[in-house]
Amino acid sequence: MIIKTEPEFIAPYLRDASNFSGGNAEEVVIPETSDELADFLKNETRPVTVAGAGTGLTASRIPSGGIIVSLERLNIIGKEGEGRVRIGPAVTLNELQGFLVPTGWFYPPNPTETWASLGGNLATNASGSRSYKYGVTRDYVEEVELILVDGRKTLLKRGLKITEPLTFEDGSKIIFPNIAYRSPECKNAAGYFIQPGMDWLDLFIGSDGTLGIFTDIVLRLIPRPDDFVSGILFFKEESSCWELIPKIKSLDGKKIDPCSLEYFDYNALKRLKSKHKNIPNRSKVALFFEQDVLKMKDYDLILENWYEFLSEENIMLDDSWFAQGPKDVQMFHDFRHDVPAIINEENSRAGRVKLGTDMAVPDKYFMSMMQFYRETLKANDLDYVMFGHLGDNHLHINLLPEESERDMAQKVYDQMVDQILEWGGTVSAEHGIGKLKKKYFAKMVGSSGLKDLNKIKYCLDPENRLGAGNML
DSSP-derived secondary structure letter, 16: -
DSSP line for 48-94: EEEE--S--SS-TT--BSSEEEE-TT---EEE-STTEEEE-TT-BHH
pLDDT tens digits, one per residue of 102-130 = 999 999 999 888 899 999 999 999 998 89
Q: Which residues, in sequence order, are CB contacts of 345 under 8 Å at separation 6+?
A: none
pLDDT tens digits, one per residue of 269-280 = 999 999 999 999
Check pLDDT > 80 for residue 12: yes
Pairing state between β 384-389 and 394-399: antiparallel
End-to-end CA gap in the chain: 31
How many whole angstroms separate alpha carbon 357 and alpha carbon 20? Answer: 16
- Contact call for residues 209 and 192 (beta carbons, < 8 A): no
pLDDT tens digits, one per residue of 425-465 = 999 999 999 998 999 999 999 999 999 999 999 999 999 99
Q: What residue spans in the chain does CATH classification 3.30.43.10 cover?
A: 2-70
- Contact call for residues 41 and 150 (beta carbons, < 8 A): yes
Q: What residue spans in the chain does CATH classification 3.40.462.40 cover?
A: 227-422
pLDDT tens digits, one per residue of 356-399 = 999 999 999 999 999 999 999 999 989 999 999 999 999 999 99
Q: Does domain 227-422 have CATH number 3.40.462.40?
A: yes
Q: Into which CATH architecture does domain 2-70 fall? A: 2-Layer Sandwich (3.30)
Coil vs helix vs strand at 433: coil
Residue type, 273: K
Please give the angle made by the CA atoms of 422, 427 and 429, to the nearest 5 degrees. Answer: 120
- Contact call for residues 176 and 244 (beta carbons, < 8 A): no
CATH class for the region spanning 77-223: alpha beta
Q: What residue spans in the chain does CATH classification 3.30.465.10 cover?
A: 77-223
Question: What's the pLDDT score for residue 1?
Answer: 94
Q: Which helix (H) or strand (E) holds 293?
A: strand 285-293
Give, in order, the Cα–Cα distances in Å from 75 to each of 33, 35, 212, 216, 221.
10, 15, 18, 9, 19
Pairing state between β 227-235 and 321-322: antiparallel
